[in-house]
A and B are shown apart, each in its own frame.
Chain A
Amino acid sequence: TQLLEQSPQFLSIQEGENLTVYCNSSSVFSSLQWYRQEPGEGPVLLVTVVTGGEVKKLKRLTFQFGDARKDSSLHITAAQPGDTGLYLCAGAASGGSNYKLTFGKGTLLTVNP
């Protein structure tokens, strides 16, 4: 069974601060996706990383996939209250079942004005 551990579980910061959240596993994934989920809604896809060592930027968000494709990080620069939400990472299995996503429990981020 593949497991994804996300840390920290909770993060409360002030507007303008930087932060990094982590997603770690002992398993290799064919790709990894980051989602943001707001209360009462479904996860919204932010980015997919596929290649080991890959870095993708989405405005103030920087996503990195580990060289071994077992871990990932999300860095937010100058956080804003609109960044508040539950950040989820999800790994796609290697091989024939790569449609099956394994989710971490998420990092609940609160950005205070």
Chain B
Amino acid sequence: NAGVMQNPRHLVRRRGQEARLRCSPMKGHSHVYWYRQLPEEGLKFMVYLQKENIIDESGMPKERFSAEFPKEGPSILRIQQVVRGDSAAYFCASSLTSTAVGTGGHEQYFGPGTRLTVT
């Protein structure tokens, strides 16, 4: 019973390169969330996706960042032209539903994260 899977676990990119982070949700989960954890800071919400739809991207920088969750395959967080300030741990979470507070279906389960280092 696999949990949320993320790859790669560690990614090193030079300034100006592109970073692609992948997330496969738990089996049966169709809701995916991306969070970023900067050193000395808490996790910050970036984006919420369902299959083929971006539901809320209010936490994602307007430039250079994009996310998708295609009909087939993993969710992808893409960062173009990376800068040093993008260095962080990026976590993906998934849930069975997004609402239904009280039934547990909305509980978010996190993957192990991708640690991005920009040199």
**Contact pattern, B 94-110, Cβ under 8 Å of A = 1, otherwise 0:** 01001101101011111
Asked whether any CB of chain A lies closer than 8 Å to the CB of B85, the reply is: no
Cβ of A48 and Cβ of B91 under 8 Å apart? Answer: no
| B contact residues around A33 at 8 Å (CB) | 107-108
A-B contacts, CB under 8 A, total: 71
Chain B: number of interface residues, binned into ranges: 20 to 34
Residue of A nearest to B91 (CB): A42
User: Which stretch in B12-20, B39-47, B63-71, B73-81 binds the other chain?
Assistant: B39-47
Cβ of A99 and Cβ of B33 under 8 Å apart? Answer: yes
B44 vs chain A, min Cβ distance (A) = 7
A side interface size, CB within 8 A: 27
Residues of B at the A interface (CB closer than 8 Å) are: 4, 6, 31, 33, 35, 40-45, 48, 55-56, 59, 91, 95, 98-99, 101-102, 104, 106-113, 115
